[in-house]
A = this chain, B = another copy of it.
Amino acid sequence: MTVLPVNRLDLEGDVAALTAALLDIESVSGNEASIADAVESALRALGRLEVVRDGDTVMARTNLGRSERVILAGHLDTVPLPSVPGSRGTVPSSWEGEVLYGRGATDMKGGVAVQLALAAQLAEPTRDVTYIFYDHEEVDAALSGLGRVARSYPEWLKADFAILLEPTDGTVEGGCNGTMRFQARTTGKAAHSARAWMGENAIHGAAEILVRLRDHEPATVRVEGLDYRESLNAVRISGGTAGNVIPDAAMVEINYRFAPDKDLAQAEAYVRNLLEGFDLVVTDASAGARPGLDRPAAASFVAAVGAEPKPKYGWTDVARFSALGVPAVNFGPGDALLAHSDNEHVEAEAIRGCLRALRTWLD
């Protein structure tokens, strides 16, 4: 489907209507040019922000000399459109009463609309604000526009606090668990299965790995007042070559989601200890992020929102801010469980409520 670029976004009107306008610009990862054009021109039209465009990432900031600076960040891309005919989480968007359907309705054009509305509506914010709209979030982490900003424009990521407007149903979700993947390999000796005693079964050799994973009781770890629930799972297994051959190799892929009290080395050591005696290789690792809710800017934000903060389980880009020394939380409209679903949708009032909370805090 080809959607014509929307040249004018109305940043002053209803933020839910603005969300619908953003949804109507198809922006599956890799195809963010049109939406980035629309965002860039809307921000430049405001006339009072410093605006930079890099690829399909758009950055804008106030320079009011405030004592604190806050980053509001969101990604412009979406996952692919649903393939099931009749799905409503698609382009163009559609309304059912006060519920807005479309690809990106929760993840995360409602949040992007709130960023844009704040940029237009906060003439004199109490804190300097940096707005970041980035590309390629829904694909390989190495492609992320936010990573490119960190490499090419590190001064744009200097701040006292960052809010990522990913969907959290209007609560504040602090920090995130880390994630690490391992491959555990067992080896044996191939033989014809009619003479099995000539060989050594590598799949049988993996039984103990599965038993230890199955019997492992994952911890819940309190970090700065939030309870992070861990998990440790076999996510893939393979082994064997033919129906009449004793397998000489098997592989178990393991995913450990660990609380942000641990760094990568500690997380790795934990799994190596649990699976002592087996050959483990780390294939993928991303550190978690501490919630940072003890920092003043974070504390005042949590107080302004008024709801009890929760831990974030999935890895999100708050970890990138955390790694740069900027405490960060997720706070945005919509239910994260609807993200990527065929009938992705968001309630108009959730978007408006998010805007109100942030405007109250920053005005």
- Residues B194 and A313 in contact, CB atoms below 8 Å apart: yes
- Residues B207 and A194 in contact, CB atoms below 8 Å apart: no
- Residues A181 and B243 in contact, CB atoms below 8 Å apart: yes
Bound CA–CA A239/B234 (angstroms) = 9
- Residues B235 and A238 in contact, CB atoms below 8 Å apart: no
| CB nearest to A204 among chain B residues | B214
Residues of A within 8 A of B (CB): 177, 179, 181, 192-197, 201, 203-207, 210-211, 213-214, 218, 229, 231, 233-247, 250, 252-253, 255, 257, 284, 313-315
Bound CA–CA A147/B234 (angstroms) = 45
Bound CA–CA A218/B214 (angstroms) = 26
- Residues A197 and B235 in contact, CB atoms below 8 Å apart: no
Q: Which of B207, B218, B231, B240 contacts A210 (CB 8 A)?
A: B207
Bound CA–CA A239/B240 (angstroms) = 13
**Residues of B with C-beta under 8 A to A315:** 194
3 nearest CB pairs, A to B: A236-B240, A207-B210, A196-B231
- Residues A247 and B240 in contact, CB atoms below 8 Å apart: no
**Residues of B with C-beta under 8 A to A236:** 203, 239-243, 247
- Residues A194 and B211 in contact, CB atoms below 8 Å apart: no
Bound CA–CA A211/B294 (angstroms) = 48
A187 to chain B, nearest CB (A): 14
Bound CA–CA A236/B234 (angstroms) = 17
25 contacts between A and B (CB under 8 A): A177-B194, A192-B314, A193-B235, A193-B257, A194-B315, A195-B313, A196-B218, A196-B233, A196-B257, A203-B210, A203-B233, A203-B234, A206-B237, A207-B207, A207-B210, A210-B210, A211-B211, A233-B246, A234-B240, A234-B247, A235-B240, A235-B242, A236-B241, A237-B247, A243-B284
Question: So how many copies of this chain end up in the complex?
Answer: 2
| CB nearest to A316 among chain B residues | B194
Most buried by B among A210, A243, A244, A250: A210
A205 to chain B, nearest CB (A): 8
A43 to chain B, nearest CB (A): 33
**Residues of B with C-beta under 8 A to A201:** 214, 233-234
**Residues of B with C-beta under 8 A to A211:** 207, 211
A249 to chain B, nearest CB (A): 11
A167 to chain B, nearest CB (A): 14
Known: A204-B234, A243-B253. 11 other contacts (CB 8 A): A181-B243, A194-B315, A195-B314, A201-B234, A203-B233, A204-B213, A234-B247, A236-B239, A237-B238, A237-B247, A244-B255
| CB nearest to A210 among chain B residues | B207
**Residues of B with C-beta under 8 A to A193:** 179, 231, 233, 235, 255, 257
Bound CA–CA A229/B194 (angstroms) = 9
| CB nearest to A231 among chain B residues | B196
- Residues A247 and B235 in contact, CB atoms below 8 Å apart: yes
